[in-house]
């Protein structure tokens, strides 16, 4: 049975609606995880460290797609809730065209500056060459990757979350198979891993584009559209929190790498890479839930259905709380086996990674509340509050704790930093949710 945005949602129906987005985000996170797995085991820890060093910089460019997708889907969902389908499709189409043009511009700029940026991050010698090689291949697929990020949100708004899931699974499986072929069999090393990811991103971005080119029986489709600076600005404002989250995470990861180089050298960066990969997957579940739930929130806000807003908010808090506790317990038991998959060839690095992961996993208990809180305000078209939560959570608090804690706790202070930042952010998220409950009636 097809689930519509206007439905009343029980726990079962809500989970059925968002599960595609959760799996979709997890498969998206698999790209870099699989790359790291094959690079570490077949190309060595220098190439593995190079990927971990340059990847945050590449992510900054790709996250503009998240901004347009989340911010734009909030506007489009609200417009659909108001009953104006024609205007919603014009907004949708304009944002897709802007994404394509922006992606091409970012690709050209990235290709020109990838070497100096990598050197600025601290890469030198063989690691610098590896950063440039990996970065230039990935950048060639940047427009498609940005489209993939945009369509993750719009396929849900179009009431086609299962289609988004199928596309993402196809892209993810392509990445896994090609990594095995290029890196494991043909021994193409770092270049093979980069080509595998780039090809999978083309599939993830272009397949939904082809789908939206048709109009028959679709909530959303591509049509002629005029550029609207007002709507683009509103989109960027709405989605600024998602942009801030991803850009801040990339910048903070660079700072983490700097601190790790000082306290543990190249091994520290490799260990943190494993933590990031595990974190990507767990965070992807919360992000996927938030993306999946956002069109429901936006639609009911536009339709002024306060009862359903309260229902969605209450059930989301319960689901996120249970999920966070489960993720933490799973992490405690799987820390060593997961670390062994990536760095089992080096006993000292394995021990460092396993200990760091157990400490780092404490943050999983809190992550979901902060991620959902920010996305919730985005869906309510309150980009300012959403951006403040994300800005403090992913940048300000992270920078403060990762600088201060290692002074007193050494290397463990770096692993504890994410936990401390999430605790501080939870106070901010809770304060905003309480302060705005009467305004939005959730």
pLDDT tens per residue across span 359-400: 999 999 999 999 999 989 988 988 889 889 988 988 899 999
Count of domains in the chain?
Answer: 1
- Asked if residue 83 is part of any domain, the answer here is yes
CA atoms within a 13 Å half-sphere pointing along the CA-CB vector of 431: 9
Per-residue pLDDT at 58: 85
The CA distance from 65 to 317, in Å, is 27
CA atoms within a 13 Å half-sphere pointing along the CA-CB vector of 185: 8
Among residues 280, 273, 241, the alpha carbon closest in space to that of 372 is found at: 241
**Residue 252 predicted with pLDDT over 70:** yes
Asked if residues 372 and 289 have their Cβ atoms less than 8 Å apart, the reply is: yes
- Asked if residue 92 is part of any domain, the answer here is yes
Per-residue pLDDT at 137: 96
The CA distance from 338 to 4, in Å, is 39
The CA distance from 12 to 299, in Å, is 19
How would DSSP label each residue in 63-92?
A: HHHHHHHHHHHHHHHHHHHTT-HHHHHHHH
Burial class (CB in 10 A: 0-12, 13-18, 19+), 441: middle
- Asked if residue 158 is part of any domain, the answer here is yes
Asked if residues 302 and 85 have their Cβ atoms less than 8 Å apart, the reply is: no
- Asked if residue 58 is part of any domain, the answer here is yes
Inter-CA distances, 346 with 44, 171, 296, 340, 353, Å: 11, 32, 47, 9, 10
- Asked if residue 5 is part of any domain, the answer here is no
- Asked if residue 130 is part of any domain, the answer here is yes
Mean pLDDT of 322-330: 94
Task: Say how many C-beta atoms besides its own lie within 10 A of residue 108's C-beta.
Answer: 12
Per-residue pLDDT at 66: 83
Give Cα 282 to chain centroid, integer Å: 11
> Would you tell me the crossing angle of helices 240-302 and 411-435 to the nearest 10 degrees?
30
The CA distance from 426 to 435, in Å, is 14
Per-residue pLDDT at 264: 82
CA atoms within a 13 Å half-sphere pointing along the CA-CB vector of 441: 10
- Asked if residue 6 is part of any domain, the answer here is no
Q: Which two tokens stand for residue 106?
A: 């970012």
Per-residue pLDDT of 128-168, as tens digits, reads 999 999 999 999 999 999 999 899 889 888 888 788 888 88
**Residue 32 predicted with pLDDT over 70:** no
**Residue 242 predicted with pLDDT over 70:** no
Asked if residues 53 and 122 have their Cβ atoms less than 8 Å apart, the reply is: yes
Residue 37's domain comprises 11-440
Burial class (CB in 10 A: 0-12, 13-18, 19+), 143: buried
């Amino acid at each position: 049975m097809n689930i519509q945005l206007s439905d009343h949602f029980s726990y079962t129906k809500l989970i059925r609606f968002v599960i595609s987005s959760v799996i979709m985000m997890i498969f998206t996170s698999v790209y870099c995880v699989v790359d790291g797995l094959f690079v570490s085991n077949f190309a060595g820890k220098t190439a593995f460290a190079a990927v971990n060093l340059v990847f945050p910089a590449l992510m900054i460019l790709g996250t503009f797609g998240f901004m347009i997708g989340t911010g734009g889907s909030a506007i489009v969902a609200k417009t659909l809730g108001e009953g104006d389908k024609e205007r919603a499709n014009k907004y949708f189409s304009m944002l897709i065209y802007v994404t394509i043009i922006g992606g091409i511009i970012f690709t050209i700029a990235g290709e020109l500056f990838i070497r100096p940026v990598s050197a600025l991050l601290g890469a030198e010698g063989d690691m610098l060459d590896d950063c440039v090689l990996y970065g230039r291949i990935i950048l060639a697929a940047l427009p498609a990757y940005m489209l993939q990020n945009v369509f993750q949100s719009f396929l849900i708004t179009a009431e086609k979350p299962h289609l988004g899931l199928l596309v993402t699974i196809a892209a993810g499986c392509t990445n896994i198979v090609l990594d095995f072929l290029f890196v494991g069999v043909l021994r193409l090393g770092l270049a093979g891993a980069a080509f595998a990811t780039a090809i999978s991103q083309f599939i993830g971005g272009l397949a939904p584009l082809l789908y939206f080119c048709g109009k028959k029986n679709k909530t959303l489709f591509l049509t002629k559209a005029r550029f609207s600076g007002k709507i683009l600005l509103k989109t960027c404002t709405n989605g600024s929190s998602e942009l801030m989250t991803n850009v801040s995470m990339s910048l903070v990861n660079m700072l983490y790498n700097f601190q790790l180089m000082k306290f543990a050298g190249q091994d520290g960066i490799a260990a943190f890479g494993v933590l990031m990969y595990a974190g990507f997957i767990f965070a992807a579940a919360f992000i996927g839930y938030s993306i999946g739930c956002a069109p429901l929130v936006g639609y009911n806000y536009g339709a002024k259905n306060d009862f359903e807003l309260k229902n969605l908010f209450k059930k989301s808090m319960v689901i996120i709380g249970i999920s966070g506790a489960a993720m933490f317990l799973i992490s405690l038991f799987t820390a060593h086996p997961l670390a062994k998959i990536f760095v089992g060839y080096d006993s000292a690095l394995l021990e460092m990674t396993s200990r760091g992961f157990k400490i780092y996993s404490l943050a999983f208990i809190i992550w979901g509340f902060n991620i959902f809180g920010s996305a919730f305000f985005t869906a309510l078209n309150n980009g300012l509050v959403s951006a403040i939560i994300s800005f403090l959570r992913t940048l300000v608090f992270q920078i403060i704790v990762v600088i201060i804690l290692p002074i007193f706790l050494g290397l463990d202070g770096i692993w504890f930093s994410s936990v401390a930042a999430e605790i501080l952010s939870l106070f901010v998220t809770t304060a905003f949710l309480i302060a705005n409950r009467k305004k939005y009636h959730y």
